[in-house]
Structure formats: structure tokens, C-alpha cells
Structure 1
Amino acid sequence: MRPPPPSLEKQILSAMEEVIFSATYPELEIIYISPSAETLTGYPIDYFTEKHENWKNLIHPDDRSIVETALISLNADDKIRIRYRIQTKNNKIKFVQCQGRLIRDENGKILRFDGIIADISELLSLQDIIKNETGEIKQLLLENNILFNGSQDSMFLIEVMDDDKFVIRRINAAYEKSTGINQSSIQGKTPIDLLGEELGRPVIKNYQNVLKAKTTITYEESIPMPAGTKIWTTALTPIEVDGKFKFIVGASKDITEQKRAENALKESNERYALILEVSSDGWFDWDFVTNSVIYSRRWWLEFGNDEKSENVPIDYWKSLIHPDDYDWVTEFLDNIMLSQRETFEFSFQMKKRKGNYAHVLSRCYIQRDSSGNKIRMVGSNSDLTETKKIEYTLRKAKEMAEAANMAKGNFLANMSHEIRTPLNGIIGFTELLLHSNLTEEQKESLQNIRLSGKSLLSLVNQILDFSKIDSGKMELELISTDLTDLVQSTVDLFKISAASKAIHLKLNLDSHLPKFVSLDPLRVRQVLSNLIGNAIKFTHEGEVIVSVKPIKQIEEFIDIEFSILDTGIGIDLNSKTKLFDSFSQADTSITRKYGGTGLGLTITSELIQKMNSQLHIESELGKGSKFSFILSLQVNATGSVSSNLFEEKNTTTDESVIVENDQLQSDILIVEDNDLNKKLLSKMLLKRYPCIHLRFATDGADAVRQFQLKIPDLIFMDLQMPIMDGYTATIEIRKLEKDTHKKTPIVALTAGAFFSVKDTAIESGMNDFLTKPISTADLYSTIEKWLLSGRM
């Protein structure tokens, strides 16, 4: 075996990405610094050696105290390991980790201070990626990545309680083996419970420090455990859940043997031993003359065989490349050898000693002789396997979350259709019976059935609204609206319910309010209706006051406060946080007494947040509550009133006999696959229009055939049917009408409640839209709109 060339160590240092340095102590004048300092900072090597204070200028001003404190403690500990920020020559901020130690002679006299600085910016950016993922991915990461049960490091999970106490929740198998403590004996305990006051207080201090830092901190510690006293290097990372740091993940590596080995090293080898131990996975030196390679101990332990690691033929390294990567890696290296590049890096898969493949990042430097001929390549390797696993976990978690959301959306859409279909029969036939000659007792029973159906319909609508908000599909439609008219018409909806409880419902509209503003009138009405309805529901006596007033105006934008004040039962503010939980109320007894799904305030709060505002609550138990929010709205010169926006109709049942219209004798085609819906629609139509002619089709294909036989005056088209749905049937009918000037009105019938259903129906060529359950008022209004007024 030939000895390595005298300059091998310097060549290796030149190829390292990490910065190696040696300085006097305590003066801290730079004796040596590796060439990679220029890559890290942008400054030449002379910058650090010509003036010993220059290196301090690179440290970020906010982190200089951290470095100074570490250097002060260096004389006591003989070592440091810290993370801080530097500012490069081009003003870029980088995160670095510095690890170093004092070198002493046999008598303990300090000779110098040696260390290594590594750029860890990319590692910290990976934490940011994990932090910004959705709630579903966070949950999977907590289950699959935080605990790291397969890790050789000792892992533990600490929960940060609301009273600022720290409770141990989970440890992994490596922790149990290294410390002698098992899961059952440690779970649920605090550091004081486990270690006592004297040893537990410093541990708690470290937990408090990581919460203040809001990022990973690393330190060394030595704590007596049942398995013995060992030296650990511990990294703590705070985990944010819903905007608050609720967990701390700890990882401890047993460095006891490493410390003993370091103390046993000879002085002449200490500097380079430190470099090799704290560097990446290992280094190599490829001699182009002999076409052989020298590998470091660490590289050989991971990728080598039982032979020696010196003078290894290059073919051995090539044999480790994954078959999928072999062709492009060899082509890449051939192109590098033909170029004038000196430094480069590339990533590929390499076979380890155990037979599995690892993702490896190689950073390389090519050395030339005085004639410019390439004589060797030196470099280092980094194992990217764990990084790739985390990336894969994130990707799979995201795919699973998206699939779950899609499945949930499909389920709710189907649930809406299936529930609304029987509701159509219940409410429709009830309305028909209410128009018959009945006794008062029979009418009262039918009214109760109708109100129960309407309540169930309201429940379905609430769940669908919650689903759209939860999946991010709720979009606002900004329309210039008469603000006073919108609020007044909304309050008017509750006058009867307030009067029935002898509650005074009052509206205060400030005289300085603008007339027209841009907002989503449907969603603002929904928010106000929920809050006013709740106020009346939970008030037994007194009053409910709705107030709207301007706060401030800047150019064409004005801030307007909406508030609803009541003298009702009030809210225990200790239960305030439960108000906005889905399917939850402040007290379970409220559900038993007043009913409700617990979704109203959740939907209201989410809608207000979509409008870039927050719902505020002031309340005192037994004395009443005030709910308020502020909207920033654009002031306009013109706009629409609520009657035009909502097409308000009298949908309440008129219990008098329906007046017949025997002038209408149109031919109407009903396309419906449900016999009950078909029978209901027929009775509703013939009740008022006894002279019309009704035809029926069981699916879209049947509808197209009947249209070809005879063109009807109007078509009622169900959307979801077997064989051919209503959308496709409408498209086919419009194709048949291509050469005619007159087109038959087609009215969609659907149990679906999503706006996208209506949009799709109109896009397919339909003229109007009725949602099941269908009211008689809406049905008759639609018939007369298209058959008596002649509008198309």
C-alpha cells in the first residue's frame, strides 16, 4: 500500500463544503481557514487572516451575543456547538452550525482553537415545508415522523400544557434501551417527577428556551439514568399546531464513546479527526493515474466490503450505482471529464453494505497538475435517504388528504340528493293536503309535518354549507347592494318569531351609512340570519337589537360594524372556545333544551373570516350577549335591492283552495325516474292547471325520443337519472332544435344543493332551475313565467 501524497489532507479540505478553521485563543486570530470559506461567505481567504476582527462582522447582529456567550464558556468546557446566522458579501442570510474545541498540550496549556462550520440553511427550510402543510398532513407527520420509532437516536415527545407545564407523552425503543426507563413508567410525568427538583429544573429551562427560540436548538447534557450516566447531544424542535407551539420533539444521541475516543486521540491527528467525524457520510480520493480510490473509514463502513479501503479499483464504486442511474451517471462523469469544471455535485442511488440502496449526494473537486492535466478527484458524500423518506411521506400524505376531501365531497353531494328526494314528497304532498278541505286538527297535524320537513331541509343545507367552507370551495360573489334594504329585509324575516315570544326586535341604522356597497348579499344575509335567529332563540324576555353603523372611511372604502345585542341567557366565557367547534355548543344541556346542530356559529364565523373579518363576543351569563363584526366594503353609486337579488316569493302555504286556471292547455313533458316525485309533480300541476296535457319520460334517452315524436311546450328535466342524465338529454334536444327559431323551455329539477349543479344545468342549455323540495308557489310562478308571459 502506497502512502497518500503529502498534500492529500489539504486537497480533501479543499473539496469539503464545510469550512475548517484554526485560531489562537483567547485572541481568536485566524491561523488557518479552508478554501470553502469563500464559497460560504463570498469573501476571499485573505479577508479573514489580514484582520482578526473581520470574521465577527459576518455574524448577524441579533446572534452575536449567542456566539460571544459560547466563546466565553469555551475555556470551561473545551468545546462548543452552536447555530447562528451570518450575512454573506452579497447580503444573503445563511444559517450555520459551528462545532469546535480547544487543543491543549500534555500540561493542559491551550495551543489553539480548531473547528468546523457547516451551512444548514437547507435543513431549516425543510422544517418550514413541514410547518406549512395542511391539517391532515400535520396529523400524519405527528404519527409517522415525529416519533421516529425506527430511529437509532433516543426520541421523545413533550406536550406543552396550557398551564406552561411540560408532560412527557412518548419515548421510542432506542430511548428505553439507552436509559433503562420504559414507556409506562415515564408517560404522563413531568421532568420534576422523573428527575427531581435539582436535575429537572435545567431540563425545563431547555424546553422554555426552545419555545422562545421558535426553532431547533441543540446542546449537550449528562443526566444519571438507570442504565448509567452518559453524555448526550440533544436537539429540541418545537411543533406548531393551529398557530400555537403545543409539542416539543427531542432527539438525543449517545456520544459517550465518541467523547472518550476524542480524548484518546493524539494531538497531531485531532484536527483532522474532528473534520472527518463531523463532516458528511465520508470522503474519497480518486487517483486518475492509477485509477484507484482511497475511502474514509465512515464511507467504507457504509458502502465498502471486507477488504481494505485503500487502492480500491474504481470499478468497485461503479458496481454500487443503481441500475436505473448507471447510464446517466457514467455519461455525466464523462462530460465532466471533458469540460474544464473543477467543482460539481450530483445525486444518485448507491448500494450499501447491507444490500439496500441509499440516495447519495456527492460533492467533488478535480485537481490538476502544473500542465493543467487532471490528476485526481476528491470529494464527500451525504446520505439523503431520510430526506427522501420525508419528501415521500409528505407527498403521500398530501395525496391521501386530497383523496379524502374528494370522497367527502362526493358523499355529501349524494347525501343531499338522497335526502332531498323523499323530502320533496313529504313537503310537496303536505302542501297539497293543506289546500284541501280539512278539519282544524288535521291542518295542525299537517303543519307540524311540514315544519318538521323544513327543519330537516335546513339541517341538510347547514351540513352542505359547512362542507363547502371546510373544503375551501365556498366562494364569495361581490354585488353592489342596497345595504339598508338588505339589513331591513333580513330583520323583517324574524318579526313573527320575535313577536310570538313577546320579544321586542329593534333595528338601529345609522343615518351616515352609504346606500350602495359591494358585498355578497346571500352570505351577509346568512350571517345576520344566524346571529338574529340565535339571539331570539336564546332570549325569553326583553329585546334583541340589531345595529349597523360606520366606523371609518378612507376614500371609497368604509368600515361598517354589524352588531346583534340580546337580553338572553348569556354565555359562560369559560366555554367560549367551544362555541366555534363543529357540532358543539357551549353546554350539552343547551342542545337538550333548545336543539340545533352546533354548526350555526361555526358556519357564521367561517363566513365572516372569508370576508376578512372576525366575529367578536361579549357576554355575561344570565344577562345577555353581543355578537359583532366589522366589514371593510367598497362604496358604490348604484346597486340592487334585496327583492331583485333573492327573487323573494311568498313561499308560505296559503291554506285557502288553489284557484284553478283552465285557460292553460299546454303540452308538458315530465322527465323523472322516481315514481313518487312524478306523482307529486303531476298532482301539483293538475291542481291549478286541470286542462294541461302531461307526458312522462323515465330517463334522458326516453325524453329525447318523445321530443322527436312531438315537441312539448315545456319540459321539466330531472338531472340524475339512469341510462342518460338530464344534462346530456338537454344537450341532445338543443342539437335537434339547431335549425329552428323557437326553443322549448327546459326547467331543471334536482335534489342537489350545490351552486355548481345550477351552473352546469344552465351551461348544458336549460332555462330555469327548481330545487327539491319544490314549493307550489315556486312551481306555479315558473310555469306562468315560461308559458303565459311568453318569455324565453
Structure 2
Amino acid sequence: MHPPPPSLEMQILSAMEEVVFSASYPELEILYISPSVETLTGYPIEFFTNELDAWRKLILPEDRSIVELALTSLNVDDKIRIRYRLQTKDKQIKFVQCQGRLIRNESREILRFDGVIADISELLSLQDVIKNESVEIKELLLENNILFNGSQDSMFLVEVMENGNFLIRRINAAYENSTGLTQSFIQGKSPIDLLGEELGKPVIKNFQNALRAKTTISYEESIPMPAGTKIWTTALTPIEVDGKYKFIVGASKDITEQKRAETALKESNERYALILEVSSDGWFDWDLVNDTVIYSRRWWLEFGNDEPPENTPISYWKSLIHPDDVDWVTEFLENILLSQRETFEFSFQMKKRKGNYAHVLSRCYIQRDSSGNRIRMVGSNSDLTETKKIEYTLRKAKEMAEAANMAKGNFLANMSHEIRTPLNGIIGFTELLLHSSLSDEQKESLRNIHLSGKSLLSLVNQILDFSKIDSGKMELELISTDLTDLVQSTVDLFKISAASKAIPLKLNLDPLLPRFVSLDPLRVRQVLSNLIGNAIKFTHEGKVEVSVKTIKQTDDIIDIEFSVSDTGIGIDLNSKSKLFDSFSQADTSITRKYGGTGLGLTITSELIQKMNSYLRFDSELGKGSIFSFVLSLQVNTTGSVSSNLFEEKQTSPDESIIVENNLIQNDILIVEDNDLNKKLLSKMLLKRYPNIKLRYAIDGADAVNQFQQQIPDLIFMDLQMPIMDGYTATREIRKLEKGSNKKTPIIALTAGAFFSVKDTAMESGMNDFLTKPISATDLYSTIEKWISSGRV
């Protein structure tokens, strides 16, 4: 009896090379195993179904731990896939792969463990063959991978599907970095999937264009990506496989920064061109090799004709130059081009489109090649016509202003001199009368006249000082001076006026002060006098203090602070802005109550500025003020005291009776053009010296003529006279005396008491100096000094 034929399933299982098995779990008792197990292991089916651990015995000892571990973890994943080695009945070693899974019921209870075991020994052998025999292929793949991922460009591979769709298969590392997309995210996506309809359709169109072109195409694109929106230049290359274009290789270069630079350059060029258009009347570009010029639109509108402003011969530009300028401009440019200069500018006249000539300023730059040969000149033109008109107007205005200022200065100087002349008579004749026998009432009136004259003289001096400062003609004369003596003698001048108001006037001198320093003693005394005089004027009770102290000293330069403080009416700080204004005071009621021109502090401040310092003040209304300044002075070892620098003027007239001196009987020549001054000087001289002989000259020329006729014993010489001034007359007299052992004393008479006038007088050959108004005491002491001593 024959066994029943096997079922179809059994036939299929028997025909399979793989071993199919079913076992209990976790006991792993074999419930079923396919006949192919005998082919694989050499053992019959019974060997595995009759013995529980028969299968484990075939596994090589080194691999058993792998199998045990996989079986232990089976309950976690419900499936395994492992490779291991087993030994067949005939001692062969085979590599097998086991894939199995747990079978569960609806309640998730384990029913059994089913699986398949396949012999993979041949596959591993084939792998070794490939490993050993395909080195070139492997290296080629490696090189391609290096090229793909090592590229700085963003590369991608697109597959062309049969239905015409495009799928992205691969991107390189540079693409990931540039876009922020990863390989795992982008792989297998179409442009629509990745970018959406709006952005994806233009990308697909570019892919289609590449396929139609059948060659590489390039274009620029900008697509928002996670890493930001950038600008790329993309190249697409279709790849043909078996007669069909199945792939597209793309390479994108990030040109965002390049585009920004190009945009910035474009904007810069546009801005530069705009600036040139606005700041000039156009620009030109001269090709020195071809001798042709390109002109800007604006230049051509101003100076061109109806032809195009491009590649114009240089001869056209030369034809526009004014005939008066052609020769020197041509020579100038030839010399420039022969030199190594790069930039230059020059101004000349050039003919405009309308036919008129304009003053043009050309600013040019010469460009050279690497060999130093000049190749082009670029530049701009500016129409200076209006500027020239403005310059002319301003120059004329400046000349007129300077003339007016000079006229003002001359007017003030002349007015000062003219006012001094009658003042000389008023003060002089008053002083002469005070020497007479008069009643007390008459003397009191004369004293008032004398005081008024002195006040008016002080006012004239202030106006003259202001005029000199305002015109910039005041110069400091630095003289090595005894500082302590200068300050002390200045303070002493105000002791009487301070005592008359019962106000203590104190002087505080730093014991560390140097004795001699270089300064302008007249101007320092003037500054201190103004400050002290103001302090006494505006103080009714309390005190006035003058302090001089050392601040610091470096080598022979010392900083000294001068300050004058008072407890007077003080100054409202809100009035500070107009305190130093000309002809102004802090409060208009001040002028009515205390008098003054309002020039004192202005002159004081300006004088201190001339000394490279500034006037500081601190004040509180009703409590007093402090004015101070610091001078940097040079320390010296020797110098002069104040008595040797200027005469101390009396504040009140000498009312003593003039005693006659009959011993002096000399011949005296008075050179004076003003009759009043001549009469005053004559009376003052004859009052004391009744036996002298007086002669008169109306100007310097007359004085020289009389000197030639008869040499006098002494000459009083006015400085400002018509025909010939006193300086010139003195020099002429000294020429006449050349070779003589005896020189006639010449005493200068002037309305100005400045060192510069005195120095000029001394340089011309004069012997001494008297200022108007002339003090009788000074006059007598001077004349007796030179006549009694017989000095020549």
C-alpha cells in the first residue's frame, strides 16, 4: 500500500532551500521542521524533533551567546533576525541567517515561535570576492562620494520618473548647511512636496528646461529655506542612461554676499554719480591713449553742443578755453602729464553752450597702468562764476569795512588827540592858577575844574585803549619788572580813595613770589587799577583785598593768580552775559548812580586775553565780588622797578607857590603847532624861569630851519605836526649835529603816554618824554635835569 501523496504545502516546503520551523516558546521544542533541514545540516528530521536541545548543539560555541541573547530579547520585539555559524554532520561550517517571530492569539498569549533559516555561506563568499576583486569600483565610489560631499557648492541628485515627475534622491553636506534641510527629510520628495505649489512649479519648470536643452543650463534663484533666504546661481545637468535622461545633477553656488556687494557697489556708484552731479557742473573721462573724452549729462548740458557726449575728440574741449587762458592751460597740462602727480586742480575760463564764458574749477585725477604709463584722466568741473562775483563783493565789502574801521580808528585817535589839546590847556592853566594867590572859594572852583579835566582825560584814555584793542593794533611790551613793587605801587595809588570811604584796602603777597618777571607793566597796572577802582567804587562798607599768589612753576615759567575781592553791591549772575559788553553795565541804574563809560571791564577783559588768559569772576548780589586772572610769566634774575618805567601821576594838583629860578637864562625853542599849548607851555616856563629866552616853531621844518640859524640850549618838540612831524625833525637835527661833541637836549611832547610812542621818540634821537596834559612839577624837574646837568 502506497502512502498518500504529500499535500501541495508540503511539496512547496520540501522544494524550498530555506528551513522552515515551528517551536514552542520559551522551551523551543520543535513542533515542525521542513525536510530541507537535512540538506542544510546532514541530520534527519527526527534528530531535531526527538531531542530538545539538538539544534543548539550544532551552533558553534563562539556564536551561542549571540543566539541566546536574541532569544532572550524575543519577547520584547516579537521577532528576531540573527546570523551565526553551525557545524554540519560532515563537519562543514556554514553561515546561516535565522528570521523568526512569536505567534500570539487574540489575548496576546504566546502560541509558538515560527521562523526560517537560510544558508548564506555563498552570499558571504560572494561578498569576499567583491571585496577582493572590486577595489577599483570601491575607490571610484569613494572618489565620487568625496567629490559630492566635499564640494563647497550645494549639490543634489534628481531622478526623472516615467510619469514625468521629479524626485530628489540625494543632497550633499554643503546643501544641508546652506538650506537647513537634511538628507533624510528631503529624500524621495518632489519639489511640490518640498516647497508647495507656488515655489515648486518654477523649480519643476527649470528641470523641464534642462531636459529639453539636453545640456547644462544656469540661472539665478532665491527660495526661502529653514537656514534663511539666499540667492543662488544654479546649474542643472541632465544625465542620460540607456538612451533616456533619467537623472538631473544640480549644483548651486551661494552668491548672496556677492549680490549684496554688487548692490552696494551699484548704490555707491549711483550715489557717487549723484554727488558729482550735485556738487559740480558735470564730470569727464579723458582716454589719454585714444585722446577721446566721455562727458556726463550735466557737463554736456552746460558746455556741449548738439552732438552725442561720447568719444568726443579732446580738441573740442580745448576749443572751449578762453583765448587768454589757452597758452598757460596747455603748458600747465603738458607739465602735469610729464610729472608723476596723480591729483591736481586748476581754474580757467571756458565757453558755455550759451556762448558766455564762465570761470571753471577743474579737479582731476590721472590713472596709470602697472608700468606707470598714464592711461586716463577723470575729473569734475565747477562753475565759479557766482563764487567769483561773491568773492569780489566780499572783497569790496571787506575793503570798505577795513577802510571804515581804519577811519574809525583814525577818528578816535585824532579825536583823542584833539580832545587832549584843549584838555592840556584846561588842566595846565588851572594848575597855573592854583599856584596863584586866590581866595579859598576860587581855589575850590579851580580844583573842581581840575578834577573834571582829569576825569575827561581818563575817559579819553579809555576810548583810545578800546579803539586800539578793537582794531587789533594794541601790542604788549614785555619788560622784566619787579612784581612786588609793581603791585604795591598800584595799590598805593588807591589808598587815598579807599580811605576817603573808610574802606580798608589790603594787599596779600605770596612770600614764594619771584621778584622779577617778564610782563607789560603798564597794561598789568591798568588791569589791576580797573579792578581795584571798581571794587572801591561799588563798596560802601567792609573791605577790598588784593591777592597775588603762586599757582605752579615749571622751570622758569610760573603761573601767578591775581585777584581782587570786595564786599560791595555784587553782581546778579543773570547779568553775566552783558557784563563784558562794550558800553554796557550789569544794571543801567549803575551808570546813573556811579557813573562810568561801561568800557572798564571790556578793556580789562580784552587786555587779559591779550596776555593769554581770561578774566574770571564770582559774585553774589548784595554780598560782593571776586575778580581774578592767572598769568604765565617768565622768571628773571634782574629787572626794573615801577618808578623807572613810568612816572607816578599825582591825583591832586600841586597848589604850592611856584618859586622863581632866575639862574636859568637859556635859549629854549618850543616846536608846537597849537597856539593854546604854546601859550600854556610858555606861561608855565616863564612862571618859574622869567629870564629864559623863548623861540617858537610852528612845525618840524620850521624847527630845523631855526636850528640851522641859531642852535638853542633845549628844544620842546611836539610829535604830531603838519609839514614835518617831531620824529623827522629830530632825526634831521641830529644829522646836522653829526661830528659835534655837543648835542641839544630834545624833550618830546605827546598826547599819548604809550611805551611804543616813547620808544619811537627815543629811537629818533630825543632825550626825554613829557605827556599832555603836562604837569608843572614834571615840566620843571625835566628842564632842570637837562639844563643844569649840561647833559649832551
Give the Cα separation in 1 of the matches to 2:515 and 2:340. 71
Give the Cα separation in 1 of the matches to 2:452 and 2:310. 86
Query: In the comparison of the two structures, how many residue pairs are matched?
Result: 535
What is the aligned partner in structure 1 of residue 412 from structure 2?
A: 412
What is the aligned partner in structure 2 of residue 737 from structure 1?
A: 737
1:114 pairs with 2:115: no
**Aligned to 2:518, what secondary structure does the other structure show?**
strand
Distance verdict in 2 for CA 1:112–1:698, change over 3 Å: closer
Once the two structures are TM-superposed, the CA of residue 548 in structure 1 deviates from its matched residue by 2.6
Contact 2:550–2:559 under 8 Å retained in 1: yes
What is the aligned partner in structure 2 of residue 302 from structure 1?
A: 302
What is the aligned partner in structure 2 of residue 580 from structure 1?
A: 580
1:595 pairs with 2:595: yes
**Aligned to 2:539, what secondary structure does the other structure show?**
coil
What is the aligned partner in structure 2 of residue 680 from structure 1?
A: 680
What is the aligned partner in structure 2 of residue 381 from structure 1?
A: 380
**Aligned to 2:317, what secondary structure does the other structure show?**
helix
**Aligned to 1:114, what secondary structure does the other structure show?**
helix
Give the Cα separation in 2 of the matches to 1:289 and 1:645. 76
Contact 2:562–2:628 under 8 Å retained in 1: yes
Amino acid in structure 2 at the alignment position of 1:467: S
What is the aligned partner in structure 2 of residue 165 from structure 1?
A: none
Once the two structures are TM-superposed, the CA of residue 689 in structure 1 deviates from its matched residue by 0.4
Contact 2:276–2:380 under 8 Å retained in 1: no
Once the two structures are TM-superposed, the CA of residue 624 in structure 1 deviates from its matched residue by 1.5
Once the two structures are TM-superposed, the CA of residue 560 in structure 1 deviates from its matched residue by 2.9
Give the Cα separation in 1 of the matches to 2:289 and 2:774. 89
What is the aligned partner in structure 1 of residue 723 from structure 2?
A: 723
Give the Cα separation in 1 of the matches to 2:566 and 2:276. 72
Q: 1:198-253: CA deviations, max 9, x gaps?
A: xxxxxxxxxxxxxxxxxxxxxxxxxxxxxxxxxxxxxxxxxxxxxxxxxxxxxxxx
Once the two structures are TM-superposed, the CA of residue 575 in structure 1 deviates from its matched residue by 0.4
Contact 1:461–1:753 under 8 Å retained in 2: no
Contact 1:482–1:641 under 8 Å retained in 2: yes
What is the aligned partner in structure 2 of residue 693 from structure 1?
A: 693
Amino acid in structure 2 at the alignment position of 1:495: K
Distance verdict in 2 for CA 1:109–1:592, change over 3 Å: closer
Amino acid in structure 2 at the alignment position of 1:728: T
Distance verdict in 2 for CA 1:282–1:373, change over 3 Å: same
What is the aligned partner in structure 2 of residue 769 from structure 1?
A: 769
What is the aligned partner in structure 2 of residue 435 from structure 1?
A: 435
Give the Cα separation in 1 of the matches to 2:439 and 2:304. 96
Once the two structures are TM-superposed, the CA of residue 336 in structure 1 deviates from its matched residue by 6.8
Alignment of 1:324-335 (within 5 A): 324-333=324-333
Amino acid in structure 2 at the alignment position of 1:361: S
Amino acid in structure 2 at the alignment position of 1:657: I
**Aligned to 2:662, what secondary structure does the other structure show?**
coil
Contact 1:280–1:380 under 8 Å retained in 2: no
Give the Cα separation in 1 of the matches to 2:680 and 2:318. 78
Give the Cα separation in 1 of the matches to 2:783 and 2:276. 86
Give the Cα separation in 2 of the matches to 1:413 and 1:272. 57
Amino acid in structure 2 at the alignment position of 1:526: Q
Q: 1:548-601: CA deviations, max 9, x gaps?
A: 333334444433332222221111111012111111100001001111011111
Once the two structures are TM-superposed, the CA of residue 415 in structure 1 deviates from its matched residue by 1.7
Moved more, 757-766 or 633-642: 633-642
Amino acid in structure 2 at the alignment position of 1:589: S
What is the aligned partner in structure 2 of residue 447 from structure 1?
A: 447
Give the Cα separation in 2 of the matches to 1:343 and 1:639. 58
What is the aligned partner in structure 2 of residue 424 from structure 1?
A: 424
Once the two structures are TM-superposed, the CA of residue 777 in structure 1 deviates from its matched residue by 1.0
Alignment of 1:389-538 (within 5 A): 399-538=399-538
Distance verdict in 2 for CA 1:328–1:647, change over 3 Å: same
Distance verdict in 2 for CA 1:753–1:512, change over 3 Å: closer
Amino acid in structure 1 at the alignment position of 2:494: F
Give the Cα separation in 2 of the matches to 1:503 and 1:602. 26
Once the two structures are TM-superposed, the CA of residue 673 in structure 1 deviates from its matched residue by 1.7
Contact 1:425–1:677 under 8 Å retained in 2: yes
Give the Cα separation in 2 of the matches to 1:664 and 1:271. 92
Moved more, 579-588 or 411-420: 411-420
Contact 2:281–2:383 under 8 Å retained in 1: no
What is the aligned partner in structure 2 of residue 568 from structure 1?
A: 568
What is the aligned partner in structure 1 of residue 361 from structure 2?
A: 360
Give the Cα separation in 2 of the matches to 1:327 and 1:470. 47
Give the Cα separation in 2 of the matches to 1:739 and 1:109. 93
What is the aligned partner in structure 2 of residue 229 from structure 1?
A: none
Give the Cα separation in 2 of the matches to 1:349 and 1:625. 63
Amino acid in structure 2 at the alignment position of 1:113: A
What is the aligned partner in structure 2 of residue 788 from structure 1?
A: 788
What is the aligned partner in structure 2 of residue 261 from structure 1?
A: none
Amino acid in structure 2 at the alignment position of 1:621: L
Give the Cα separation in 1 of the matches to 2:768 and 2:273. 81
Contact 1:281–1:380 under 8 Å retained in 2: no
What is the identity percentage for the equivalent residue pairs of Structure 1 and Structure 2? 79
Give the Cα separation in 1 of the matches to 2:632 and 2:272. 64
C-alpha root-mean-square deviation of aligned residues, in Å? 3.6
Once the two structures are TM-superposed, the CA of residue 379 in structure 1 deviates from its matched residue by 3.3
Normalising by structure 1, we get a TM-score of 0.61
Distance verdict in 2 for CA 1:663–1:357, change over 3 Å: same
Amino acid in structure 1 at the alignment position of 2:381: S
Amino acid in structure 1 at the alignment position of 2:732: E
1:539 pairs with 2:547: no
Once the two structures are TM-superposed, the CA of residue 280 in structure 1 deviates from its matched residue by 5.3
Distance verdict in 2 for CA 1:296–1:103, change over 3 Å: farther
Distance verdict in 2 for CA 1:732–1:557, change over 3 Å: closer
Give the Cα separation in 2 of the matches to 1:625 and 1:526. 19
**Aligned to 1:756, what secondary structure does the other structure show?**
helix
Q: 1:180-199: CA deviations, max 9, x gaps?
A: xxxxxxxxxxxxxxxxxxxx
Give the Cα separation in 2 of the matches to 1:271 and 1:456. 68
- Structure 2, gaps ≥5 residues long: 1-254
Distance verdict in 2 for CA 1:103–1:353, change over 3 Å: farther
Distance verdict in 2 for CA 1:668–1:319, change over 3 Å: same
Give the Cα separation in 1 of the matches to 2:261 and 2:373. 43
Give the Cα separation in 2 of the matches to 1:280 and 1:112. 25
**Aligned to 2:579, what secondary structure does the other structure show?**
helix
Normalising by structure 2, we get a TM-score of 0.61
Distance verdict in 2 for CA 1:723–1:512, change over 3 Å: closer
Give the Cα separation in 1 of the matches to 2:326 and 2:531. 67
Once the two structures are TM-superposed, the CA of residue 308 in structure 1 deviates from its matched residue by 4.2
